[in-house]
Amino acid sequence: MINTQSQTLEACCAEYERRYGRKPPPHFDTWFQVAQEQGFLLVDEFDSMMATMEPLWGVAPSDIRARVENVIEASQGQGMYRLTVSEGSFTNIGNWMSSVFGTWFKPNVLETLPNMTLAMNTMDEPKVVVPHDMLSHAMKTARNRRKDTPSPGKNPDLAQHVDFLSIGKQNTWDALSVSCAPDTMARDFSLEARKSPYLTEMGFLSNVTLSKDVCQFPELHNIHAGLRHPDSMTLTHALVPVFSQAKATCFNDLLYPSPFYVEKMRMEEYKEKEDTEWEEKKNIVYWTGSNTGGRSTHENWRSLQRQRLALMTLDKNRPINLLNRVQKFGGLSSEWVSINSTIASISNNTRVRISAAIQCEEDACAEQNEELQIQTGERDEISAGYEARYNLDIDGNGLSGRFYRLLMSKSAVLKQTLYQEWHDDWLIPWVHYVPLSMDLRDFPEIVRYLTQEPEGEALGQKVAQNSYEWSRRVLRSEDMKLVWWRLMLEYGRLFNDDRDEMYYRV
């Protein structure tokens, strides 16, 4: 990937046109020059972020502008705020994120941007779920448009209308699955449940991206707290550009670098002097945190991701499958064979603990305090994770804000997530982190392999070194500012009536 990145403006423009079927936006040359000066490595890798914007090319700019105004108005303070760029300056009416955007909208950036208004979602949860027929129509229009921009809706009251549904503290499936195609398992109830082709018998992920597809594998909805029973969630079914920090595949929000990451880096949350070298670290997988992720009830809490992890590791007699290397006849080769075991076989190599039961009904809180052996008030220091060779990172109410800090550390990261983020094109599984399946079937063998097999320990050390070095090359504050700038060039063009004439001219 590094070796294929464009080294010249001409090559970058050609690669852009090859990938996206249109010329780059105005001032692309200015962006590219600054990117080169600041050592921005992955100038071509924006596919995940661009994909979220593509349906908007099938919507008239006037309808987009009106929907943005209406979505801000309809949110009634539910975590949405307005960010406006006008005549080379910006107005930021929002929360603590204001300081982050202040560093991103420098004068040299504002000079390149047209007038536009953004709807910024500050909530953990995404906001936009577009019904599949509407999304398909927009994508078809986007692909088939010739010179003319799509016409505005003939009935503005309908074409520009935005409403919010409040579906927190309840099962969300009916509201979320409408974005799935009719021939997917999520919508076609005649289809039999099938084993995911992206999971091996042991549960290892062979394709991290496709394994997150909630429409193809609706069972994921039942084992992820943020989808099954979120503590709070308000969403719209309108195709409206809302910038969110992370989303599941059934959502249509626009992705951008999370200000949480930026702020934690500014505060220097990771302090290298508190970290230890690999050889000095304990040979364990470490995770501790509260039970956040959704609203816990008596009926659902045992199925939510953080609680399932804690229940698994607490039950020493829990049956699991591990792998054992067996020599073939003659001893010239070997193969891995599945064997039956219990959690006790890896207990010495795990340290997992729920530190607090919150966001739960009274009986569910009491049950979790007892069954998960929660000691109220006992929280570990951030540096405690650096004592372990492996740090586990799991979704909470939204993305995990600790992810970049863990990548920057000298420990390896085990990552379990159902969310898509802006960096998905930049972080490679089994190179920069170890992926975990949502059902955790692979967790016991991954722990055993990384902590008890010499080749596994060597792999873990390599992943730790890779992430330590890579995060300092592509997850810098400068990188996220440049990503944001590039997204603003794209979004500003979408927002403008003359967008088909707005492109960089050599």
* Residue 316 in domain: yes
Q: Is 237 helix (H, G, I), strand (E, B) or coil?
A: coil
pLDDT at 375: 85
pLDDT reading at 299 higher than 90: yes
- Range of weakest confidence among 229-233, 389-393, 465-469, 493-497: 229-233
pTM over 0.85: yes
| Claim to verify: residue 23 and residue 116 sit in the same structural domain | yes
- Which pLDDT score, from 0 to 100, does residue 353 have? 95
> Kind of pairing, strands 319-327 and 334-342?
antiparallel
Determine, yes or no, domain membership for 33.
yes
Average pLDDT of the residues in 317-345: 92
The encoded tokens of residue 143 equal 């692909």
| Average pLDDT over every residue of 68-87 | 89
pLDDT band at 148 (very low <50, low <70, confident <90, very high): low
Q: Give the pLDDT of residue 22.
A: 94
pLDDT given for residue 499 in this prediction = 93
Give me the chain's average pLDDT, please: 94
Q: Which of 131-140, 195-204, 252-261, 436-445 has the lowest mean pLDDT?
A: 195-204
Nearest to 61 by CA among 160, 136, 128: 160
Residues 343 and 423 in one domain: yes
Q: How many helices (H) and strands (E) does the chain have?
A: 18, 14
pLDDT at 145 over 70: no
- Considering the domain architecture, whether residues 246 and 101 belong to the same structural domain is answered as yes
In total, the chain counts a number of residues equal to 506
What are the CA-CA distances from residue 79 to residues 68, 85, 104, 126, 245 (Å)? 14, 20, 21, 10, 12
Tell me the mean pLDDT in the region 445-451. 98
Mean pLDDT of 40-61: 96
- Is the pLDDT at 433 greater than 80? The verdict is yes
Cα 197-203-206 angle, rounded to 5 deg: 50
> How many Å apart are CA 171 and CA 226, to the nearest integer?
10
**Neighbouring C-beta atoms of residue 266, cutoff 10 Å:** 13
Q: What is the pLDDT of residues 450-491, one digit of tens each?
A: 999 999 999 999 999 999 999 999 999 999 999 999 999 999
* 370 and 503 inside one domain: no
pLDDT at 378: 76
Please check the confidence at residue 50 and state whether its pLDDT lies above 80.
yes
Assess whether pLDDT exceeds 80 at residue 331: no
**27 occurs within a structural domain:** yes
pLDDT of 136 > 90? The answer is yes
Lowest mean pLDDT among 37-46, 166-175, 274-283: 166-175
Structural domain tally of the chain? 2
Q: Are residues 502 and 375 in the same domain?
A: no
pLDDT class for 98, splitting at 50, 70, 90?
Answer: confident
The answer to whether residues 378 and 486 belong to one domain is: no
Please tell me whether residues 320 and 406 are part of one structural domain. yes
CB 207 within 8 A of CB 241: no
Residue 193 lies in a domain: no
Residue 343 lies in a domain: yes
Domain that holds residue 334: 264-474
pLDDT at residue 410 tops 90: yes
User: Rounded to whole angstroms, how far apart are CA atoms 277 and 472?
Assistant: 17
Asked if the structure places residue 214 within a domain, the reply is no
Is the residue at 181 inside a domain?
Answer: no
Nearest CA to 282 out of 380, 347, 350 is that of 350
pLDDT tens digits along 38-47: 999 999 999 9
Q: Is pLDDT above 90 for 191?
A: no
pLDDT at position 94 is 67
10 and 109 together in one domain: yes
Instruction: Decide if pLDDT at 96 tops 80.
Output: no
Same domain, 436 and 486: no
The pLDDT-based confidence of 146 (bands split at 50, 70, 90) is low
- What CATH number has the domain bearing residue 344? 3.40.50
Q: Is residue 290 part of a domain?
A: yes
Same domain, 242 and 371: no
| Closest C-alpha among 292, 8, 339 to residue 124 | 292
If pLDDT is split at 50, 70 and 90, which confidence band does 268 have? very high
> Above 60 in pLDDT, residue 147?
no
pLDDT > 90: percent of the chain: 85
241 and 347, same structural domain?
Answer: no
**pLDDT score recorded for residue 237:** 97
CB atoms within 10 A of CB 296: 27
Give residue-wise pLDDT tens across range 391-402.
999 999 999 999
Q: Are residues 9 and 107 in the same domain?
A: yes
Return the DSSP state at 296.
Answer: B
Q: What is the mean pLDDT of residues 434-441?
A: 95
Contacts of 197 (CB under 8 A, 6+ apart): 206
Predicted pLDDT at 130: 98
**226: nearest Cα among 141, 291, 146:** 291
User: H helices of 416-476, where?
Assistant: 443-452, 454-474
